[in-house]
Amino acid sequence: MSGPILVFGAEGQLGRQVMTLAKARGIEVSGCSRLQADINDFPAVSTAISSAKPRMVLNAAAYTAVDRAEAEPEAAFAVNVVY
């Protein structure tokens, strides 16, 4: 297999751990923060995947602000369920 593992949500808690563990094991990994490719923005996600040409995509992006999720259920649903 060629290409890195591409991690969306790379600056979140889970994404950072995945990136750290992969690098420590010599696994080629590339990450996208929300600013680089918001998981709700399909064209941005598509562009990131096309550019990285990954062998695997891991979605570690999540809406984790529980209090805000109750006030913003559509946003939480879009990130945690739809994508």
More confident residue, 4 or 79: 4
Residue 73: helix, strand or coil by DSSP? Answer: helix
Q: With beta carbons less than 8 A apart as the criterion, state whether 45 and 37 touch.
A: yes
User: Rounded to two decimals, what is the model's pTM?
Assistant: 0.81
Q: List pLDDT tens digits, range 44-74.
A: 999 999 999 999 999 998 877 778 877 878 8
Q: List pLDDT tens digits, range 6-38.
A: 999 999 999 999 999 999 999 999 999 999 999
Res. 83 pLDDT band, cuts 50 70 90: low
Rounded-to-integer distance, Cα 49 and Cα 3, Å = 11
Which tokens go with 62? 């999540």
- In order of their start, the domains of the chain are 5-82 (3.40.50.720)
Rounded-to-integer distance, Cα 50 and Cα 5, Å = 13
Rounded-to-integer distance, Cα 56 and Cα 73, Å = 29
Rounded-to-integer distance, Cα 19 and Cα 15, Å = 6
Give me the pLDDT at residue 3, please. Answer: 83
